[in-house]
């Protein structure tokens, strides 16, 4: 274990690492979060107004202060001082503090290239009191954003006051965000004899050696570049195993297309883990300079550093042939269609103008159009059909190996009827050479096994090499009787990875064990880890739903009511939670409280049919 290494700040690193510092200094990482001043604020604050959906925003200066005048949580207009700047390209958002202990990301942002104000979310403007209003829980900087825009960050949420007392080493993604605290490294640089092998640090005094393996580097990047659920408060110490700090979000409906392509904002990681490049040992820094955050070359030159007749000795399995040619891409040289990324990394736009590319590096599959998955061909040829694209590819590449069965067809069908696809989902989960995130997603789609033969197949996956698969396999066994479930899942309570232990604890929420036994100790420890993770995420309405559901399983109705009440306090539009509040009051014999809760629910969600059905 590390001997509590100390952070020193990026400015201290400059003395020895001047070239690296010069590359990092103007990068998106360095500018991920800055304080407002003449050098950092790019937006027009020359007393201009912007109107969107009836929301009128005024941007102006008050001396050295940058001000935004808009409607607050109570609907009253007032001026708020900008207290922080998020990002530098392609947009900037400005941070406001509507009350002590809370910082919010304002959702009228500055388009840097277009030099204009624009709404980050083009949907109708949520009214004050809505969870998606700029003052609402989903726009909380401390809760939703800051940990990936800062170094050594912890948000220190206080549930009674619904406020934060964040701590960090520095704003922006600094050196120590990736390399770990630098004090011991500096001591080593000044006198190598200060290093003590027993302190658990690397030979040069850092908490992680990013060059040691592909997995270490990729998983360090994924701490921010992935859609995930955190198990700790803020940034994990660099070098912490990803699966001890986060649970990766599977390829779920509304987040990914059935074939695993990006749909919602997923931050690259879940895509890259699906790729053959990841399976062959490619790491992020092979394509991206980690300090400047820029690509290592322009255009197709990034790809042909490996995909060429010369190849790359680090990846000997690659065919040695010409890829950057019309014979391969079927488009005029140097055209948009001739760019490798046009066919192999579809692009989607988030936050209005922020384009992100799918990092699963897949071959276009227009033949999978029936699943609802997009394809790169008709992304560009919008006047053509997927059938045209599939026929065209079949004629050009008649012997392609990239056709035939694909998990997308199973996933698409399972999203409608998971049990109807149960056997196929289990086959995908058992796909020994398949990406772990795909195999785990198959189990996630299955939900719960329906028969003992399926339970036995899932049980064999509890020993899988991939923590994602082990975690998902634990979850699908929750339909078994508690005693059988405990017997199967007991080894996972002591799994090396925390995400697996927590998954086992969740699946055993109703299990009873004999006290003062190793089994009871392991179960209690895993439950405590899960409980602590929930406590640290108590500012998330979705966490309160989890807490309420767990309390219901344990038949602790009072605790469930508290959690669901907290959920609707954080998000008044959370109809599922309101429904449980009303039902629980009624089940506990408090008719007046049930009616009062229903009235509050309808005030927040007037005319909602599900709530009206509770009358």
**CATH of residue 585:** 1.25.40.10
First-residue to last-residue Cα distance in the chain: 57
CA 114-119-122 angle, 5° bins: 120
- State what percent of residues in the chain have pLDDT above 70: 99
pLDDT at position 3 is 58
* Domain stop point among 133, 148, 163: 148
What length does the chain have? 615
Tokens for 418, please give them: 């998971």
pLDDT at position 229 is 97
CB 259 within 8 A of CB 268: no
Residues 467 and 577 in one domain: no
* Domain stop point among 308, 335, 364: 364
Residues 527 and 546 in one domain: no
pLDDT at position 78 is 97
221 in a domain, yes or no?
no
Residues 489 and 588 in one domain: no
* Domain stop point among 148, 175, 193: 148
**pTM higher than 0.85 for the full model?**
yes
Other Cβ atoms within 10 Å of 595 Cβ, number: 15
What's the CA gap between 432 and 1, in Å, rounded? 33
Residue 93: beta bridge partners?
Answer: 86
pLDDT at position 195 is 78
Total number of domains constituting the chain: 4
What is the Cβ-side half-sphere exposure of residue 270, based on CA atoms within 13 angstroms? 29
Residues 347 and 433 in one domain: no
What's the CA gap between 274 and 269, in Å, rounded? 9
453 in a domain, yes or no?
yes
pLDDT at position 193 is 86
Report, as ranges of residue numbers, the positions in the chain whose pLDDT lies below 70: 1-3, 198
224 in a domain, yes or no?
no
Residues 566 and 532 in one domain: no
Residues 133 and 119 in one domain: yes
What's the CA gap between 483 and 502, in Å, rounded? 18
CB burial string 70-90: b at 16+ within 10 A, e below: bbbbeeeeeebebbbbbbbeb
- Provide the phi-psi class of 93: left if phi over 0, else alpha when psi is between -120 and 50, else beta: beta
Residues 109 and 60 in one domain: yes
pLDDT at position 513 is 86
Residues 436 and 532 in one domain: yes
How does the average pLDDT of the chain come out, rounded? Answer: 96
Q: What is the DSSP letter of 152?
A: S
Cα–Cα distances (Å) from 369 to 38, 270, 362, in that order, read 50, 22, 15
Tokens for 485, please give them: 């479930």
pLDDT at position 196 is 78
CB burial string 212-240: b at 16+ within 10 A, e below: eebebbbbbbbbbbbbbbbbbbbbbbbbb
pLDDT at position 1 is 44
Residues 530 and 412 in one domain: yes
Residues 492 and 568 in one domain: no
386 in a domain, yes or no?
no
Question: Whole domain around residue 60: which residue ranges?
Answer: 48-148
Residues 517 and 545 in one domain: no
Residues 484 and 455 in one domain: yes
Cis status of the peptide bond prior to 342, with omega within 30 of 0? no
């Amino acid at each position: 274990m590390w001997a509590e290494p100390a952070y020193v700040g990026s400015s201290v690193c400059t003395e020895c690492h001047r070239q690296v510092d010069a590359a990092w200094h103007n990068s998106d990482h360095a500018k991920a979060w800055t304080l407002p001043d003449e050098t950092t604020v790019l937006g027009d604050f020359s007393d201009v107004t912007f109107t969107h959906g009836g929301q009128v925003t005024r941007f102006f200066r008050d001396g050295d202060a940058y001000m935004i005048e808009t409607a607050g949580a109570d609907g009253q207009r007032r001026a708020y001082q900008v207290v922080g700047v998020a990002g530098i390209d392609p947009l900037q958002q400005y941070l406001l503090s509507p009350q002590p202990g809370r910082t919010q990301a304002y959702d009228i942002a500055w388009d840097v290239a277009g030099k204009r104000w624009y709404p980050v979310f083009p949907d109708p403007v949520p009214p004050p009191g809505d969870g998606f209003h700029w003052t609402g829980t989903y726009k909380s900087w401390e809760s939703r954003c800051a940990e990936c825009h800062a170094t050594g960050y912890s948000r220190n949420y206080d549930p009674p006051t619904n406020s934060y007392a964040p701590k960090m080493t520095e704003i922006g993604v600094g050196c120590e965000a990736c390399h770990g605290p630098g004090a011991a490294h500096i001591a080593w640089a000044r006198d190598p004899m200060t290093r003590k092998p027993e302190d658990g640090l690397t030979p040069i005094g850092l908490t992680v050696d990013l060059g040691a393996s592909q997995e270490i580097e990729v998983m360090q990047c994924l701490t921010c570049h992935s859609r995930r659920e955190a198990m700790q408060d803020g940034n994990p110490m660099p070098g912490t195993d990803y699966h001890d700090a986060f649970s990766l979000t599977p390829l779920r409906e509304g987040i990914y297309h059935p074939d695993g392509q990006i749909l919602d904002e997923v931050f690259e990681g879940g895509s890259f883990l699906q790729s053959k490049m990841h399976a062959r040992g490619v790491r992020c820094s092979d394509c991206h300079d980690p300090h400047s955050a820029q690509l290592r070359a322009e255009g197709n030159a990034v790809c042909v550093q490996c995909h060429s007749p010369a190849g790359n000795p680090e990846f000997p399995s690659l065919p040695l042939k010409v890829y950057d040619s019309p014979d391969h891409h079927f488009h005029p040289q140097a055209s948009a269609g001739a760019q490798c990324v046009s066919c192999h990394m579809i692009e989607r736009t988030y936050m209005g103008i922020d384009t992100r590319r799918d990092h699963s590096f897949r071959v276009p599959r227009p033949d999978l159009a029936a699943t609802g998955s997009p394809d790169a061909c008709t992304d560009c040829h919008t006047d053509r059909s997927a059938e045209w694209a599939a026929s065209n590819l079949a004629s050009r590449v008649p012997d392609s190996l990239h056709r035939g069965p694909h998990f997308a067809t199973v996933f698409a069908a399972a999203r409608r009827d998971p049990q109807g696809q149960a056997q196929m989902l289990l086959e995908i989960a058992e796909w020994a050479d398949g990406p772990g995130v795909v195999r785990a997603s198959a189990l996630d789609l299955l939900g719960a096994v329906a028969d003992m033969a399926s339970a036995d197949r899932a049980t064999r996956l509890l020993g899988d090499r991939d923590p994602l698969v082990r975690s998902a396999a634990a979850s699908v066994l929750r339909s078994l009787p508690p005693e059988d479930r405990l017997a199967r899942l007991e080894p996972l309570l002591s799994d090396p990875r925390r995400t697996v232990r927590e998954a086992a604890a969740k699946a055993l929420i109703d299990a009873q064990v004999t006290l003062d036994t190793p089994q009871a100790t392991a179960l209690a420890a895993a439950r405590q880890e899960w409980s602590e993770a929930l406590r640290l995420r108590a500012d998330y309405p979705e966490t309160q739903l989890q807490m309420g559901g767990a309390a219901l399983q344990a038949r602790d109705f009072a605790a469930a009511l508290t959690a669901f009440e907290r959920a609707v306090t954080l998000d008044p539009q959370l109809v599922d939670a309101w429904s449980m509040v009303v039902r629980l009051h009624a089940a506990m014999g408090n008719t007046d409280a049930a009616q009062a809760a229903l009235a509050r629910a309808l005030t927040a969600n007037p005319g909602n049919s599900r709530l009206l059905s509770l009358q």
